[in-house]
């Protein structure tokens, strides 16, 4: 599958304000995964008028001049950049979009040619070709459930969970650093599930990032949701320590509860 439209921009590489990020590249506008938590990137795109509707958001437009921009920006910024993440406002391996995958790999190669490591996060499938790129890169998947009915309802255009996990495992088995983003983790009134099952499915990974779901009223409808998230954080920490996995708990996931 290919994007039906394209855009051009004046700049591409920028420093992100996100807590675990340095620089980022977002070379696609919109995202076919169409997450309904809702998607913060879509909310921002609507606010700034880049897209008007959900339908427009889920029909991604690829950035035609991405390589041209990076060839200009990388020589100027290379000494300031510690790492580049693909992506914060779209998905670099959008499920079944060949043109996005090809451009993302070209971008990773170009950034790596400046000795800058990259990291990529997806709800699609991590391509096998990534084993041929720099071993200093790291690759992640988002995994907030193993329930396919929930995925189809909340992340309708994303890759099935099994495919996502298998692609991550393949990269891990081939010596690459891998990580999992368990964010935005839903409360049990969205889906009845055990966090332990998700953790066990990715026990091979090097790092786990855990964060709660924001911007959704249904979370606060769940009784004691603050305590629930505190309990889930404890589970992540305990599991990570036991399995020698690095972890990061996102800001505002833990709440200090006083009686
Ligand atoms: S994968 Fe990310 S960018 Fe794409 S719709 Fe889902 S939350 Fe938004």
Q: Where are the domains of the chain?
A: 1-122, 127-259
Express each pLDDT in 62-114 by its tens digit. Answer: 999 999 999 999 999 999 999 999 999 999 999 999 999 999 999 999 999 99
CA distances from 79 to 87, 134, 166, 235 (A): 21, 18, 35, 39
pTM: 0.96
pLDDT higher than 70, residue 145: yes
Mean pLDDT, residues 163-174 taken together: 98
pLDDT higher than 70, residue 186: yes
Query: Pairing relation of β-strands 28-29 and 207-212?
Result: unpaired
Ligand 1 contacts CB of residue 232 (under 6 A): no
Ligand 1 contacts CB of residue 154 (under 6 A): no
Averaged pLDDT score across all residues of the chain: 96
- The backbone region for 14, taken as left when phi is positive above 0, alpha when psi lies in -120 to 50, beta otherwise, is beta
Ligand 1 contacts CB of residue 35 (under 6 A): yes
257 CA to middle of ligand 1, Å? 31
Ligand 1 contacts CB of residue 33 (under 6 A): yes
The architecture in CATH of the region 127-259 reads Alpha-Beta Horseshoe (3.80)
* Residue from 41, 43, 50, 184 whose mutation best tests the ligand 1 pocket (most atoms within 8 A of CB): 41
pLDDT higher than 90, residue 259: no
pLDDT of residue 18: 73
Ligand 1 contacts CB of residue 207 (under 6 A): no
Do residues 228 and 222 make contact, with C-beta atoms less than 8 angstroms apart? yes
DSSP structure class, residue 224: T
Q: 4 in helix, strand or coil?
A: coil
Q: Which residue's CA is minimally distant from atom 6 of ligand 1? A: 35
- Return the percentage of the chain with pLDDT > 70, whole number: 99
pLDDT of residue 17: 75
Mean pLDDT, residues 115-138 taken together: 98
214 CA to middle of ligand 1, Å? 14
Which residues, other chains included, contact 13 with Cβ-Cβ below 8 Å and sequence gap of 6+?
23, 24, 25, 69, 70, 73, 74, 77, 81, 84
pLDDT higher than 50, residue 210: yes
Neighbours of 202 (CB within 10 A): 22
34 CA to middle of ligand 1, Å? 6
Ligand 1 atom, smallest distance to 122 CA: 1
pLDDT of residue 20: 67
pLDDT of residue 21: 75
Radius of gyration of the chain (CA): 18
Per the structure block, which two tokens stand in for 81? Answer: 């950049």
215 CA to middle of ligand 1, Å? 14
Ligand 1 contacts CB of residue 60 (under 6 A): no
Q: 184 in helix, strand or coil?
A: strand
Mean pLDDT, residues 115-119 taken together: 97
The DSSP code sequence of 90-143 is S-TT-TT-HHHHHHHHHHHHHHHTTT--EEEEESS---GGGGGS-TT-EEEEE-
pLDDT of residue 16: 86
Which residues, other chains included, contact 220 with Cβ-Cβ below 8 Å and sequence gap of 6+?
none
Express each pLDDT in 40-55 by its tens digit. Answer: 999 999 999 999 999 9
Do residues 29 and 65 make contact, with C-beta atoms less than 8 angstroms apart? no
Nearest to 61 by CA among 29, 96, 92: 29
pLDDT of residue 63: 97
Residue 258 pLDDT grade (very low, low, confident, very high; cuts 50, 70, 90): low
73 CA to middle of ligand 1, Å? 26
């Amino acid at each position: 599958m290919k994007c039906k439209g394209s855009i051009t921009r004046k700049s591409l590489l920028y420093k992100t304000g996100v807590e675990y990020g340095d620089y980022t590249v977002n070379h696609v506008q919109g995202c076919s995964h169409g997450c309904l938590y809702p998607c913060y990137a879509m909310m921002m795109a609507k606010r700034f008028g880049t897209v008007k509707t959900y339908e427009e958001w889920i029909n991604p437009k690829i950035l035609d001049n991405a390589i041209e921009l990076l060839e200009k920006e990388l020589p100027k910024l290379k000494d300031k950049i510690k790492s580049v993440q693909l992506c914060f406002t779209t998905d670099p391996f959008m499920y079944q979009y060949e043109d996005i995958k090809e451009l993302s790999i070209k971008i990773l190669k170009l950034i790596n040619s400046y000795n800058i490591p990259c990291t990529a996060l997806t709800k699609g499938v991590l391509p096998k070709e990534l084993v041929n790129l720099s071993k200093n890169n790291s690759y992640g998947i988002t995994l907030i459930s193993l329930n396919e009915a929930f995925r189809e309802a909340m992340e309708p255009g994303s890759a099935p969970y099994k495919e996502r996990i298998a692609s991550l495992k393949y990269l891990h088995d081939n010596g690459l650093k891998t990580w999992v983003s368990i964010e935005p983790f839903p409360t049990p009134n969205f889906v009845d599930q055990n966090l332990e099952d998700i953790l066990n499915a990715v026990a091979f990974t090097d790092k786990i990032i855990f964060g709660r779901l924001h911007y959704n009223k249904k979370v606060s409808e769940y009784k004691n949701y603050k305590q629930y998230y505190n309990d889930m954080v404890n589970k992540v920490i305990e599991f990570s320590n036991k399995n020698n996995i690095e972890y990061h708990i996102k800001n505002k996931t833990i709440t200090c509860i006083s009686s």
